[in-house]
Structure 1
Amino acid sequence: MAGPRVAYILLWFPERSQTFILDEVNTLARLGLDLAVYTLYGPSPRPLTGLAPVAVPVHRLGLASLKGIFTENLRLTKDWGAPVRRFLLKVLVRQWRSLETAGEALWATLAGVHLARRFLAQGIDHIHAPWADGPATAAWVASQLSGIPFSFCAHAHDLYPPDGALKDKLTAAALVRAVSGENQAFLAALAPQAAAKIVKIYYGAPLTAAPKPPRPFHHPCRLLALGRLEPKKGFAVLLESCRLLQAQGVDFHLTLAGDGPEMKTLQEMINQWGLGRRVTLPGFVPHNQVPRLLEESDLFLMPSVILPHGDRDGLPNVILEALGHGVPVIATPVNGIPEAVYPGDTGWLVPPGDPVSLAQAIREALANPGEAQRRGLQGRELVGREFNSLKNYGRLKACLEGAIR
């Protein structure tokens, strides 16, 4: 007997800044889940070099589908009657966080109407959205109109601050996945009636074949930070720490890899503070080159901050990748990060937005390379226990299948 058919709804897929989603989809397929991806937009406009091949069918909507979906919405909402029209209006009049999210919600609603009919015709048994914002809105609409159960996952930017429909989505979903205990508690407090169906399932990360053998730190010490260059990553704070370290005569070199809206600002800071010999901004690094960067690094840095409007990191997968390579991590206690970075055990935690404390932690690690490497090895063991891809995605597969019954 064939297993259940699951539809994954995403904005884009694959996306080079979301390789953990690609890993999730491919691993679930490898575990035997009959899965297909439906994207609300067309192909990603960004280059996709260095990504693993996609192992499942991908169906794209986007601008090419706009006229057909709009016409179909007019016809179907008329055919389905007043209750359906009232539900769709209820979705659209929610208090959205910005004009951008309101536009995303509008398109997600229109796409959800289209997908409801499509999923029924294709025999889909369950709908899942890996993000709590637009994809979950589309899944909610499609579920309400088709009767097919849906679930969604909550991370960071899709959760903080919550959108105006999040409570409704929590109530209506058959299952909600939180990627950290911190997120699980936040969601349960937001919708106590849904607490029993909110489950914590971490993402997974690869382990190196063998632990890194102890070795002296490089001279100069090699620091690595990796992520999208945006304010919540705290990279401006990191550069302030580098300015302090340079003034204190610390011998180091930082590779700050990634691209994003802060690229120009960060480069200007490097120039202004004379950090050109100490800091390199190589731009975006394809995911298949990240292991080499980690292997060549002595310390990994993730100085995340919480922005005034609430946006923050969740539990960045790159932290798990660093720990999986045995690289000691210095980070901040934002959201789910303390669930992987334990002070004195797998790394260091410093207050967000505090360049002095960050510089001090870097100096402490450099002064005690043996202790730093011990913490890196402890982190590798933690990844093997708690962030094992096959174990965690196997649990997710079981939860998705269980939500259908």
Structure 2
Amino acid sequence: MSLPKTAYILLWYPLPSETFIFREVENAKAAGMPFSVYALYGEAAKHLSSDMRRVSPSVTRLGLRAVPRILTDMAWWAVRRPVETARILAGIPWRRWSCLEVAGENVWAMCAGFSLARMFLEAGIERIHAGWANGPATAAWVASRLSGIPFSFSARAGDIYPQDGALAEKMRAARAILTNNKANIPYLASILPEAAGKISQIYNSLTLGGKSVSPVHMEPPYRLLAVGRFCRTKGFEVLIDACAVLSRRGFPFQLTLVGAGLPLPTAVIRRRVRIHGLRARVFLPGFVSHDRMGELYAASDIFVMPSVVHPSGDRDGIPNVIMEALAHQLPVVATDVCGIPEVVEDGVTGRLVGQRDPGALADAIMALAADRDRAVAMAEAGRKRVAAMFDPETNTRSVLDFFARTTGNGRD
């Protein structure tokens, strides 16, 4: 197949919390996709795996050090494309963004787009792709408008829930749109029905190697595991409340809650643990590197993913930790948010409960613990489903096919 020389735009790359994007990019490159990665921000150097450290020097980064170049390039484009430059500057900053943080990200992305457009012309880039529908897609859109190079973008989770102030316009201008779960397709189509034909769906690829089967001893105290960033869509406060329910019922357990966030979210979790008197039962080890996660899956009995929809509309797509847990044949309890039911089918591949319901979470955990054979059978079915849906070789071929069939002829 004919594959276009493609610039892949992200905010950060590589990022420890985005192993699924890292694998998408690196697997595609290994299969022959001519990706060059551009990061709008500087380097996220903490907690990188050895593979991430290896590729980090190859990334073209902007960040604050690029401000002089960006200003120069904005002036350069103002001379060569004065009308389009004026339209961009008069339009994008004044959209109705959902909050100041989102506005700042997109204004920075707009400015970076001026430099990226010039870089892409100099590098002979034939296609621009943004790894997220928010800031990266704004940068791709601006670079495309200036350079004439067609662009596409991926739409995943918090980048489209809620939609930002220019998502419909980016969808209209894009050559193609890629999403990683089926639940996003009707949502995106409802935003701009005329773009429905541009939307393709490809699941993420599994990211952990050496996926051995977890022993699932299922003996008291039952070992619960939860993993994720401490942010508003993960529902970890609800999980702590569920642990309080388990404790009141006399259920013997220990929870390892792996992850980190800004100081405030972390403090909120710790305070909830303290209020419920759970400090002897709930362990918060902080961030654990991706290459050590296999040990935690192997040492656990039940994996819990209590995702919630934030009042703003923000939500998870399909948390990759669910696939990783099932790949290790670890029984899973999760909530019925967004694309999660595509993987966790209640009573078939795990237990699925409604969001924000500590009692239902506690009930599902206790039911799995009470019937190990049934729990392991569901986990085995989940492992088979995950192996089929998130197979790296199959999904990497699909990524390459996406770029090949949506390239078209030349620039727009």
Pairwise TM-score range, normalised by the shorter structure: over 0.9
Among 232, 253, 267, the alignment partner of 2:270 is 267
State the secondary structure of the residue aligned to 2:333. strand
Which position in structure 1 is the counterpart of 2:130?
Answer: 129
Instruction: Give the Cα–Cα distance (whole angstroms) in 2 for the partners of residues 3 and 60 of structure 1.
Output: 24
Which position in structure 2 is the counterpart of 1:325?
Answer: 328
More moved, 214-223 vs 174-183 = 214-223
Closer, same or farther: CA 235–210 of 1 in aligned 2, 3 Å? closer
Which position in structure 2 is the counterpart of 1:41?
Answer: 41
Which position in structure 2 is the counterpart of 1:338?
Answer: 341
User: Cα offset for 1:195?
Assistant: 0.5
Given that 2:318 and 2:339 are in contact with CA atoms closer than 8 Å, whether structure 1 keeps it comes out as: yes
Supply the AA of the counterpart residue of 1:335: C
Instruction: Give the Cα–Cα distance (whole angstroms) in 1 for the partners of residues 66 and 208 of structure 2.
Output: 41
Supply the AA of the counterpart residue of 1:275: L
Structure 2 matches for 1:13-24, cutoff 5 A? 13-24=13-24
State the secondary structure of the residue aligned to 2:16. coil
User: Cα offset for 1:273?
Assistant: 1.7
Residue 397 (1) aligns with residue 393 (2): no
Given that 1:207 and 1:384 are in contact with CA atoms closer than 8 Å, whether structure 2 keeps it comes out as: no
Structure 2 matches for 1:186-265, cutoff 5 A? 186-206=187-207, 212=213, 216-261=217-262, 262-265=265-268
More moved, 35-44 vs 213-222 = 213-222
Which position in structure 2 is the counterpart of 1:276?
Answer: 279
Residue 96 (1) aligns with residue 97 (2): yes
**What are structure 1's unaligned runs of at least 5 residues?**
none
Closer, same or farther: CA 187–217 of 1 in aligned 2, 3 Å? same
User: Cα offset for 1:208?
Assistant: 6.8
Instruction: Give the Cα–Cα distance (whole angstroms) in 1 for the partners of residues 337 and 164 of structure 2.
Output: 20
Instruction: Give the Cα–Cα distance (whole angstroms) in 1 for the partners of residues 193 and 324 of structure 2.
Output: 33
Given that 2:12 and 2:43 are in contact with CA atoms closer than 8 Å, whether structure 1 keeps it comes out as: yes
User: Cα offset for 1:216?
Assistant: 3.5
CA RMSD in angstroms comes to: 1.8
User: Cα offset for 1:384?
Assistant: 1.3
Structure 2 matches for 1:21-36, cutoff 5 A? 21-36=21-36
Closer, same or farther: CA 275–266 of 1 in aligned 2, 3 Å? same
Instruction: Give the Cα–Cα distance (whole angstroms) in 2 for the partners of residues 229 and 253 of structure 1.
Output: 19
Instruction: Give the Cα–Cα distance (whole angstroms) in 2 for the partners of residues 203 and 217 of structure 1.
Output: 30
More moved, 389-398 vs 339-348 = 389-398
Closer, same or farther: CA 106–215 of 1 in aligned 2, 3 Å? closer
User: Cα offset for 1:98?
Assistant: 1.1
State the secondary structure of the residue aligned to 1:161. coil
Which position in structure 2 is the counterpart of 1:305?
Answer: 308
State the secondary structure of the residue aligned to 1:38. strand
Residue 287 (1) aligns with residue 293 (2): no
Instruction: Give the Cα–Cα distance (whole angstroms) in 2 for the partners of residues 207 and 10 of structure 1.
Output: 22
User: Cα offset for 1:256?
Assistant: 0.3
Given that 1:51 and 1:288 are in contact with CA atoms closer than 8 Å, whether structure 2 keeps it comes out as: no
Supply the AA of the counterpart residue of 1:37: V
Residue 314 (1) aligns with residue 317 (2): yes
User: Cα offset for 1:212?
Assistant: 2.7
More moved, 271-280 vs 195-204 = 271-280
State the secondary structure of the residue aligned to 1:280. strand
Please, what TM-score do these two structures have when normalized by structure 1? 0.96
Given that 1:254 and 1:279 are in contact with CA atoms closer than 8 Å, whether structure 2 keeps it comes out as: yes
Among 363, 374, 379, the alignment partner of 1:376 is 379
User: Cα offset for 1:19?
Assistant: 1.1
Which position in structure 2 is the counterpart of 1:385?
Answer: 388
State the secondary structure of the residue aligned to 1:301. strand
Given that 2:214 and 2:297 are in contact with CA atoms closer than 8 Å, whether structure 1 keeps it comes out as: no
Structure 2 matches for 1:62-101, cutoff 5 A? 62-101=63-102
User: Cα offset for 1:389?
Assistant: 1.5
Supply the AA of the counterpart residue of 2:190: A
Given that 1:253 and 1:279 are in contact with CA atoms closer than 8 Å, whether structure 2 keeps it comes out as: yes
Moved over 3 A (4+): 49-56, 206-211, 213-216
**What are structure 2's unaligned runs of at least 5 residues?**
none
Instruction: Give the Cα–Cα distance (whole angstroms) in 2 for the partners of residues 195 and 187 of structure 1.
Output: 7
Residue 185 (1) aligns with residue 189 (2): no
Given that 2:216 and 2:330 are in contact with CA atoms closer than 8 Å, whether structure 1 keeps it comes out as: no
Residue 361 (1) aligns with residue 349 (2): no
Instruction: Give the Cα–Cα distance (whole angstroms) in 1 for the partners of residues 117 and 9 of structure 2.
Output: 12
Instruction: Give the Cα–Cα distance (whole angstroms) in 2 for the partners of residues 221 and 215 of structure 1.
Output: 10
Instruction: Give the Cα–Cα distance (whole angstroms) in 2 for the partners of residues 40 and 211 of structure 1.
Output: 37
Write out per-residue CA displacement over residues 283-327 of structure 1, whole angstroms, 9 at most, x where no aligned residue. 111111111111111111000111111111111111111111111
Write out per-residue CA displacement over residues 105-142 of structure 1, whole angstroms, 9 at most, x where no aligned residue. 11111111111111011011111111000000000111
User: Cα offset for 1:51?
Assistant: 5.3
Instruction: Give the Cα–Cα distance (whole angstroms) in 1 for the partners of residues 126 and 243 of structure 2.
Output: 52
Closer, same or farther: CA 213–9 of 1 in aligned 2, 3 Å? closer
Given that 1:207 and 1:383 are in contact with CA atoms closer than 8 Å, whether structure 2 keeps it comes out as: no
Supply the AA of the counterpart residue of 1:7: A
Instruction: Give the Cα–Cα distance (whole angstroms) in 1 for the partners of residues 216 and 266 of structure 2.
Output: 33
Instruction: Give the Cα–Cα distance (whole angstroms) in 2 for the partners of residues 364 and 2 of structure 1.
Output: 52
More moved, 79-88 vs 144-153 = 79-88
Supply the AA of the counterpart residue of 1:126: R
Closer, same or farther: CA 126–274 of 1 in aligned 2, 3 Å? same
Write out per-residue CA displacement over residues 137-178 of structure 1, whole angstroms, 9 at most, x where no aligned residue. 000111111111111111111111100110011111111011
User: Cα offset for 1:75?
Assistant: 3.0
User: Cα offset for 1:71?
Assistant: 2.5
Supply the AA of the counterpart residue of 1:38: Y
Write out per-residue CA displacement over residues 352-395 of structure 1, whole angstroms, 9 at most, x where no aligned residue. 10001110111101101111111111011001111111211210
Supply the AA of the counterpart residue of 1:299: I
Which position in structure 2 is the counterpart of 1:142?
Answer: 143
User: Cα offset for 1:402?
Assistant: 2.0
Instruction: Give the Cα–Cα distance (whole angstroms) in 2 for the partners of residues 207 and 18 of structure 1.
Output: 13
Percentage of pairs with the same residue: 44
Please, what TM-score do these two structures have when normalized by structure 2? 0.94
